[in-house]
Chains A and B, each alone.
Chain A
Amino acid sequence: MEKVLARGTEAIAEAAIRAGCRLYFGYPITPQSELTEYMARRMPEVGGVFLQGESEVAVVNMVYGAAIAGKRVMTSTSSPGFSLMQEGISYIAGAELPCVFVNVVRGGPGLGDIQPAQSDYFQATKGGGHGDYRLIVFSPESLQEAVELTMYAFDVADRYRNPVLLLTDGLLGQMMEPVSFPEFVDLDSLPDHSSWALSGTGMRREAHRVSSFDMDPVSLEKKNMLIQSKYKEVVKNEILYEEYQLDDAEIVIVAYGTMGRIVKSVVNQAREKGIKVGVFRPISLWPFPYVQLSKWSDQASFFFTVEMSTGQFVEDVKIAVEGKRPVEYYGRTAGIIPTPNEIFAKLMELI
């Protein structure tokens, strides 16, 4: 396939369109406004709908509306905007609606700054909204992977009738890289949601009443348990991860997204000095590859987590390792990206 030079946010937008997404609702926020702007230009070209909402609160509810109508829909935002969307995401998960979110994470908390960060990990993977629900979360290390995961995210959302989040940061969002785009999905081949979606009864069927509301605790618990059983299937089927030079590794660096890519050069640097290091990179952050990561505790002397936050992702690494080996942590926050040299120096300290 032909490669084209693309910017991160725009590559994700184009991938969504190729996946059959014809509805995009957005609100400008740095560092992802280029995605919104790309959609504003591109949607009319493909007969789709672009709408700039009055707030992220409105946008997430527009996404709810389009998803409940049974159509592929997405939005993108950055950390403060994603916080505003949490109420809507809880309702979307409760009503079991498929849709795709992109959070181009920036430094926080609060207004923070606009530089790349990974400090929304808890919010993304542990539930930022209220109630027993899960977001399925994928995090890419490159633009090519971002394109593929974006397209895949729509399929996964449809398969489980659950929102899917592409969690990335301004580093990837603003980066330019050669990308090869898969072909456009045939819109007629998209999954059929007519058994539940709101389309009007057409006077041919019973009314579809879809919401997250149920006043009867017995019935709501039953519904919640059905959603949980769906999540068990997600855990069984949707775990994605990459193992890099782990075969003989005595030290396992664990990192995700853009950090997962940066630490690979640390591995190369260490291996030149004869230190046997590898990388375990979760691609699905929920479901988290606990079992797959845990396996390496037989071989590794310790795990070394690197992330652009004060220590969120490291908690999942510790859950996976179950105290069998030490789990070290190094991170920067507030939009500062650790350099390979800095990480290497920390690694040398630990040895």
Chain B
Amino acid sequence: MIYTERFKAPQSLSGKEFSYCPGCHHGIVHRLIAEVIDELDIQGKTIMVAPVGCAVFANDFFELDGTIAAHGRAPAVATGIKRARPENVVFTYQGDGDLAAIGTAEIIHAANRGEKITTIFINNAIYGMTGGQMAPTTLLGMKTTTTPYGRSEKNEGYPLRVSEILKEIRGVAFLSRTKVTTPQDVIRTKKQIKKAFLAQIEGLGYGLVEVLSTCPTNWGLTPIESMQWLEENMVKEFPIGVFVDKVDKVK
């Protein structure tokens, strides 16, 4: 009984089959968000803002009111929703192209306003939906369809560490970088997602969790190789950790 209880699908997921590739971490993170929403008992008042990118379909996977923002604009759309309905819980779900390239202005200013919203930031070092182009977070030397000879700091600059930028911003109430490659990682990530939601629920400010994620399809690796590649390469460039935590305790 305990077994079946624990593994039933979260109520905040719609039950629609995910469209993500095998080995992609979007599915794990979706489930963790839904579990947190269930546990905080906020499904009825949560509004989600999906991005442009692979998660453009995310609204369909959650049983929540939701919309899809223009590329990079999710924090501005979420700001408009939250200011119109401060009693609601609002979160954005964004990839690295969306958040760290085209939407850098929106994310920095939403964070700086201490906007009472939460962002789940999926960093897989590549553009997935458009077919494997360079992201701002693409590692040096990493080959993508637009860096066929490998990313060079001389031409494309360095991988952008967004969380290290955001940690200096005073409106941020919770900020962490995590991964979901091991069960321990998954448990930790869920706790952090919960804190990022509590940051807004308790009126403390802006919350963001950056999740290092795989993209087996565009990395050209198997799911297992992708996990290894993430551990061996991405974690070095993007160290995991909690950067800001103004949330007292996890309920």
Residues of A within 8 A of B (CB): 23, 25, 49, 51, 53-55, 57-59, 61-71, 73, 87-88, 91, 95, 198-204, 207-213
Contact with A along B56-68 (1 / 0, CB 8 A): 1001101111111
Query: Which among B67, B82, B108 is the interface contact of A210 at CB below 8 angstroms?
Result: B67
CB distance from B34 to the nearest CB of A (A): 13
Is A213 within 8 A of B68, CB to CB?
Answer: yes
C-alpha gap A59/B109 in the complex (Å): 12
At the interface with chain A, which of B39-47, B178-186, B203-211? B39-47
Offer 20 A-B interface pairs, CB within 8 angstroms, sorted by A.
A54-B106, A62-B83, A64-B76, A65-B76, A66-B80, A66-B81, A66-B84, A69-B81, A69-B84, A69-B88, A200-B45, A200-B46, A200-B47, A201-B44, A201-B63, A201-B65, A202-B44, A207-B65, A210-B67, A213-B56
Question: Is B190's CB within 8 Å of the partner chain A?
Answer: no
Contacts of B83 in A (CB 8 A): 23, 49, 51, 62, 65-66
Contacts of A209 in B (CB 8 A): 59-60, 65-67
Is B70 within 8 A of A88, CB to CB?
Answer: yes
Contacts of A199 in B (CB 8 A): 47, 65, 85, 88
Q: Name, among A53, A59, A68, A203, the residue most crowded by chain B CB atoms within 10 Å (CB to CB).
A: A68
Contacts of B64 in A (CB 8 A): 200-201, 207
**Contacts A65-B79, A207-B62 hold; do A58 and B105 have CB atoms under 8 A apart?**
yes
Contacts of B67 in A (CB 8 A): 68, 95, 198, 209-211
Q: Which residue of B lies closest to A22 (CB)?
A: B84
Is B105 within 8 A of A61, CB to CB?
Answer: no
Q: Which residue of B lies closest to A204 (CB)?
A: B44
Contacts of A63 in B (CB 8 A): 80
CB distance from B157 to the nearest CB of A (A): 22
Is A201 within 8 A of B43, CB to CB?
Answer: yes
**Contacts A25-B80, A54-B109 hold; do A61 and B45 have CB atoms under 8 A apart?**
no
Contacts of A62 in B (CB 8 A): 76-77, 79-80, 83
CB distance from B88 to the nearest CB of A (A): 5
C-alpha gap A25/B73 in the complex (Å): 15
Q: Which residue of A lies closest to B65 (CB)?
A: A198
Question: Is B78's CB within 8 Å of the partner chain A?
Answer: yes
**Contacts A51-B83, A58-B105, A69-B84 hold; do A88 and B43 have CB atoms under 8 A apart?**
no
Question: Besides the contacts A61-B79, A207-B63, what 18 more A-B pairs have beta carbons closer than 8 Å?
Answer: A51-B79, A57-B106, A58-B109, A61-B70, A64-B77, A68-B80, A68-B81, A69-B80, A69-B85, A91-B70, A198-B47, A198-B66, A199-B88, A201-B65, A204-B44, A209-B66, A210-B66, A211-B59
**Contacts A200-B44, A200-B45 hold; do A73 and B84 have CB atoms under 8 A apart?**
yes
Q: Which of B92-149 contact A (CB under 8 A)?
A: 105-106, 108-109
Is B84 within 8 A of A49, CB to CB?
Answer: yes
Is B84 within 8 A of A23, CB to CB?
Answer: yes
> Sorted from nearest, which 6 A-B pairs have the closest CB atoms?
A65-B80, A61-B76, A69-B84, A200-B45, A62-B80, A203-B44
Q: Which residue of A lies closest to B112 (CB)?
A: A54
Is A203 within 8 A of B76, CB to CB?
Answer: no
Question: Is B14's CB within 8 Å of the partner chain A?
Answer: yes
Contacts of B62 in A (CB 8 A): 207
Question: Is B221's CB within 8 Å of the partner chain A?
Answer: no
Query: Which among B65, B70, B78 is the interface contact of A200 at CB below 8 angstroms?
Result: B65
C-alpha gap A87/B76 in the complex (Å): 13
Question: Is B240's CB within 8 Å of the partner chain A?
Answer: no
CB distance from A265 to the nearest CB of B (A): 43
Is A61 within 8 A of B68, CB to CB?
Answer: no
Question: Is B69's CB within 8 Å of the partner chain A?
Answer: yes
**Contacts A55-B105, A200-B47 hold; do A65 and B78 have CB atoms under 8 A apart?**
yes
Q: Which residue of A lies closest to B62 (CB)?
A: A207
Is A61 within 8 A of B73, CB to CB?
Answer: yes
Query: Which among B47, B65, B77 is the interface contact of A61 at CB below 8 angstroms?
Result: B77
**Contacts A201-B65, A208-B65 hold; do A71 and B84 have CB atoms under 8 A apart?**
yes
Is B45 within 8 A of A202, CB to CB?
Answer: yes
Contacts of A64 in B (CB 8 A): 69, 73, 76-77, 80
Q: Which residue of B lies closest to A202 (CB)?
A: B44
Contacts of B84 in A (CB 8 A): 23, 49, 65-66, 69-71, 73
CB distance from B109 to the nearest CB of A (A): 4
Q: Which residue of B lies closest to A206 (CB)?
A: B63
Contacts of B85 in A (CB 8 A): 69, 71, 198-200
C-alpha gap A55/B108 in the complex (Å): 12
Contacts of B44 in A (CB 8 A): 200-204
Contact with A along B230-249 (1 / 0, CB 8 A): 00000000000000000000
C-alpha gap A54/B113 in the complex (Å): 10
Is B77 within 8 A of A65, CB to CB?
Answer: yes
Contacts of A207 in B (CB 8 A): 14, 59, 62-66
CB distance from A288 to the nearest CB of B (A): 29
Contacts of B47 in A (CB 8 A): 69, 198-200
C-alpha gap A200/B14 in the complex (Å): 15
C-alpha gap A323/B75 in the complex (Å): 50
C-alpha gap A47/B106 in the complex (Å): 26
Q: Which residue of A lies closest to B89 (CB)?
A: A200
Q: Which residue of B lies closest to A99 (CB)?
A: B80
